[in-house]
Structure 1
Amino acid sequence: MTRHGKNCTAGAVYTYHEKKKDTAASGYGTQSVRLGKDAIKDFDCCSLSLQPCRDPVVTPDGFLFEREAILEYILHQKLEISRKMKAYEKQKKEQNAEQKVLQQAAEESKVKNFLKKESSIISKPLNPFSGEQSKSISSSSEAEPEQKDSKLPSFWIPSLTPEAKKAALKKPDKTVYCPMSGKPIKVSDLIPVKFTLINSSLDRVSLITKQERYVCAVTKDVLGNSVPCAVLRPSGAVVTLECVEKLIRKDMVDPITGDRLSEKDIIILQRGGTGFSSSGIDLKATQSRPVMQV
């Protein structure tokens, strides 16, 4: 059997490789790719900077952020909302001013039409001694049909060409949304997180280079992307879900501070992926594009 190249076009069959290559080059059809381990952040990395956190905070939905990064994001969003609100208020003032000018012009046109009608009225004096009935001749504007502006027959004449107008701005939403969950987020909702170091004598540089950096605050089990974790709101300690199910849920007491816990105080941490399909997150990225149908 002869050997064929990947780009061989002599075959009568439209192969999968050719279809995939044409789909990527044409810009049509839905593309999907499976993410690997290197494309997914670690469980202790910021969701914005994708770097290990120095001062981590977590949202009520379990997304971990660097405090500096998320505060900068919230501030930037508020400034953007303020800028959009100023542009909206400016547009609203311009519309109100334009509406006043139109109302004033309409009132002036009504007055002019009234004066024009009054000046066009012609009446003859009545003679009471004559038997002839005097008739008043009045020319009303209603009898005079208004001549409509005749439209030019050619659409390419400059007076008939369409004008590019500014798009009407909508009133911006003043709520700041989480960049990961899409839910409203406030600074007061951010909960400080305290990771327990696997070795307190390691400095930051050597800690980042290590694959295993943190352990559970209660059981001292090593934490990683393959280990489901949770954050306790009162203390901010990170523990494994196994510890939560077997130890903490029995008494619902924070083992670090001794405070009573509720279900909202146990925040499941959104972790990264290991590259395996059972890692708990979606490893398939899909991009929907236009499809050509026959």
Structure 2
Amino acid sequence: MTRHSKNCSAGAVYTYYEKRKDREASGYGTLNIRLSRDAMKNFNCCCLSLQPCHDPVVTPDGYLYEREAILEYILHQKKEIARRMKAYEEQRGARRKEQKELQRAAAAQDKVRGFLEKEAALVSRPLNPFMPKAATLPNTDVEQLGPSEGPLGKDKDKSLPSFWIPSLTPEAKATKLEKPSRTVTCPMSGKPLRMSDLTSVRFTQLDHVTGSERYVCAVTGDSLNNGTPCAVLRPSGAVVTLEYVERLIRKDMVDPVNGDKLTEGDIILLQLGGTGFAGSGGKLQVEM
């Protein structure tokens, strides 16, 4: 075994290759791997099912979905919003009922306190006209009539809850629910999404499918893949290359497939799948 071999056992240094080999064999430590092309979503696959689209639709932000998958997602979100709204309304009604009961209890306590004050104001001895009225009345401190009268009440307030006595065991209260939003959002961009915002997409298939190339530009005939920036024209739903859009379409703003006038909102940039070297579909931001 030579001195510079990867598996050199005579060296005094634990090399990086040996560390990585032992880490893979033991299963401990951090394992890094570079994602290949097979781990990335193709440009013609749904962002939810990750399968090739048979009836594709695109959102205004350029995310491609299978029509059935995105409609099922929107329906599920509406049901979930309705369930959360029902739970919120039930909790809100229970809190209102509890507040009414507390108000009734407070009103009853006020009546009892007023009755005790009137009873304490009744005296059996004659009043002295030369003394102030407050001096002739007995001690009518209402606070002494409360349940915390004497040192026993103070000790009871300062005592900690006990987990062994059922009456002193702390109870977990229900979490206060926030009012849910009624807006259905896109699963990829997080922006509001409606069914009317979806645009049908028509891919132009290659006459003779060879290898992984299956679709071409609707106008130029160039092959489309994950490395080719594409755009969807809203009036016709045709998929064209971004190079053709910048070179010709933006000059006349006319759909070359059906001849309709175009606006900036009618040109939807299609979000492509990423590679093993960079992230895709999100904003990478570093905060110091």
Q: Bin the TM-score by the shorter chain.
A: 0.7 to 0.9
Distance 2:95 2:34 in 1: 51
Distance 1:243 1:154 in 2: 74
Mean Cα displacement is larger for which, 179-188 or 32-41? 32-41
Question: Which residue of structure 1 lines up, in the alignment, with residue 233 of structure 2?
Answer: 232
Q: CA deviation at 1:19?
A: 10
Q: CA deviation at 1:25?
A: 4.7
Whether 1:17 and 2:20 are equivalent positions in the alignment is yes
Change (3 A) 1:113 1:14: farther
Question: Which residue of structure 1 lines up, in the alignment, with residue 51 of structure 2?
Answer: 51
Whether 1:192 and 2:193 are equivalent positions in the alignment is no
> Equivalences for 1:25-104 in 2 at 5 Å?
25=28, 33-104=33-104
Question: Which residue of structure 2 lines up, in the alignment, with residue 150 of structure 1?
Answer: 155
Q: Which structure's relative contact order is higher, taking Cα pairs within 8 Å and 6+ residues apart?
A: 1
Q: Percent identity?
A: 50
8 Å CA contact 2:163, 2:169 repeated in 1: yes
When normalised by structure 1's length, the TM-score is 0.77
8 Å CA contact 2:117, 2:142 repeated in 1: no
Structure 1 gap ranges (5+):
286-294
Q: CA deviation at 1:115?
A: 0.6
Change (3 A) 1:107 1:20: farther
> Equivalences for 1:1-294 in 2 at 5 Å?
17=20, 25=28, 33-123=33-123, 124-125=125-126, 136-142=136-142, 144=144, 147=149, 148=153, 150-151=155-156, 152=159, 155-158=162-165, 159-199=167-207, 211-273=212-274, 275=275, 277=277, 282=279
More helix by share: 2
Question: Which residue of structure 2 lines up, in the alignment, with residue 290 of structure 1?
Answer: none
Q: CA deviation at 1:155?
A: 3.7
Q: CA deviation at 1:93?
A: 0.4
Specify the code of the residue in structure 2 equivalent to 1:230: A
Q: CA deviation at 1:139?
A: 3.3
Change (3 A) 1:180 1:32: farther
Mean Cα displacement is larger for which, 131-140 or 182-191? 131-140
8 Å CA contact 1:253, 1:259 repeated in 2: yes
Distance 1:79 1:178 in 2: 15
SS at match of 2:144: coil
SS at match of 1:162: coil
Q: CA deviation at 1:142?
A: 4.0
Q: CA deviation at 1:185?
A: 0.8
Distance 2:171 2:41 in 1: 49
Aligned positions, number: 266
Distance 2:177 2:7 in 1: 55
Specify the code of the residue in structure 2 equivalent to 1:168: K
Distance 2:226 2:7 in 1: 41
Structure 2 gap ranges (5+):
283-288
Question: Which residue of structure 1 lines up, in the alignment, with residue 285 of structure 2?
Answer: none
Q: CA deviation at 1:245?
A: 1.6
Q: CA RMSD in A?
A: 3.6
Query: What do residues 231-263 of structure 1 show as CA deviations (whole Å, max 9, x unaligned)?
Result: 011111000111112221221111011111122
